[in-house]
Amino acid sequence: MDAISGEVPILKYKSGATELFDRLRAFYMRQADNRIFATMEVPNQSLARFRSEHTEGECVAPDPDERAEFWDRYLAERAAVEDDSLPVAYLSEMDQGLYGGLLGGDVRFMCHPENGWISSMVPPLLDDLDQFDVLRFDRSHPWWQRYIEQMKIFAEKSRGKWGVSHFILIDGLNFVFELIGGTQTYLNLYDRPDWIRRAIDFAFDLNVAVQEAFFEAIPPTAGGTFSNFAQWIPGRIVSESIDPFHMTSVEDFETWGREPVERILNHFDGGVIHIHGNGRHLLESAATIRGLVALLLLDDRGYPLAFDIVNELKQKVGDLPISLFAPYEAFAERLERRDLPGGVFYQVQGVPDLATAERLMEKVRAYRV
């Protein structure tokens, strides 16, 4: 039910939203391990227009109203796609840059024509570890005001039509990366471990403040959180990253990663994480994170597509719901052969048209393992 009205909302850009909330609730509560779920990427004119008007790389700070308008056009067009997706916009501008920007970092924006995002990041904030002692989080900072204002704009523009996704946490070693860069972070795990722990504690408080503000501005819908990769999950759910441990051992993750992740996931109602191709050695350990609701498996050059080894990956995580990207032709072939494991959300790429998407979804909804 909606957190304010007590009624299940009707979304203009998604017919059958009520039924889909029920399907997703079963999936994320681990009650649909014999079923599959899917989104269909079909040609989108709004995204094609964005690609024609923007080049990849560094760009100027985007206008929040223009970003909301982009998402409105894009999601309105996707309303015709009757798959397991919900109309969800992502606050990509508040990506990594928000957290560093709040502490005085030099926020830089990057344009991503392939998906319509404009992301943000900062170069390392500190030249010397002792500079950490002067860092302060101040809600009067211009970046905090920018954050609050963009959420207000998105909340108003989206009302009754589409949802606003949670966005990435930058805590734990991700936050230390923002302070001193990757190389110095790894070195100081051994040279200055007490300093690293202080920075992680600071990051927890900062991230909780950021995410609590999100849930205040974007309250739960139907009792759950919209998600850019999970569509919607019951509860107040955050999006976590364990990227720094992709290039370390499982032992390093257990020593430095697990506790900060579990601490913040359990401050809220749980969380989701993503794992890149070079981090798949972490799968079995990550699957046991307390409070973890779902896992997104990403693909990287030099590693097999997650879809190609989905049976193997699914065995490693048990009944934990996972999501991954699937090439259209390969997905259609395995769907026809009934060769897809359940408990998986397939994000099908390169579907040629709406009619094809509808035919595939009929088989997806009837599919049982």
Closest among 230, 87, 93 to 153, alpha carbons compared: 93
57-59, strands of its sheet edge to edge: 57-59, 108-112, 117-121
CA 237/CA 269 separation, integer angstroms: 6
What sign does the dihedral 167-181-134-201 (CA atoms) show? positive
Rounded CA gap, 223 and 208, in Å?
Answer: 20
User: What integer pLDDT is reported at residue 95 of this predicted model?
Assistant: 87
CA dist 296 and 272 (Å) reads 8
d(CA 253, CA 188): 15
Is the separation of the CB atoms in 35 and 367 below 8 Å? yes
Q: Specify whether the CB–CB gap between 369 and 342 falls below 8 A.
A: yes
What is the per-residue pLDDT for 6? 43
Q: Is the pTM of this model over 0.85?
A: yes
Using 50, 70 and 90 to split pLDDT, how confident is the model at 9? low
- How distant is the alpha carbon of residue 132 from its chain centre? 29
Asked if 320 and 292 count as a contact pair (C-beta separation under 8 A), the reply is: yes
266: DSSP letter? T
The yes-or-no verdict on residue 1 having pLDDT over 80 is no
Model pLDDT for residues 298-342, shown as the tens digit of each residue: 999 999 999 999 999 999 999 999 999 999 999 999 999 999 999
pLDDT value at residue 10: 72
Q: Amino acid letter at 154?
A: F
Tell me what percent of the residues of the chain surpass a pLDDT of 90: 97
